[in-house]
Structure 1
């Protein structure tokens, strides 16, 4: 087992102090970002959208808002940050879906449903 796996998932008591330090540092960082939005989103056809994560990251960058990823969810410092990014990400996501559908239509025989 690699050292990282042994440290994170092992039960060797010699790593208890290191595990506790990691836990304390991580918990303190995560506590600063209490507001969350989903990290994945399904499209109308029921498949996971490859565009959602990029849309959220782009929206946060455009707005100058810091985020972190916690258990496949985007975390923000304030509710206002979360709402601003979610709103902008929705617009970006719709644009990306539209562009993707146009590309699919141009490379296939007919319109995509």
Structure 2
């Protein structure tokens, strides 16, 4: 190029010409680490009323569009009425299961997930 239409540093030095440089894509590397359920501390699974919350570790947020079906989760309470999962909602790193009934504070609840 001629004139003022060149790449320069603030001192006025023109950039050196180059050709055939390899170019990488501007997005970050592919995330290949699967999400892991947090089972301890403040973010461990918890139930309030008929909402069971599961929080995961992951580099990015969970996919809120392509989420697992309610049938992929099994929730039970020994010696009490059956609990089915009515719906699954995902937001950020959290999965919220809406249960078929309210869970009482006296119940010990377990949850399982089977990858479809």
Q: TM-score range by the shorter chain?
A: under 0.3
TM-score, reference length from structure 2: 0.25
Mark the structure with the bigger radius of gyration.
2
Structure that is richer in strand per residue = 2
Higher helix share: 1
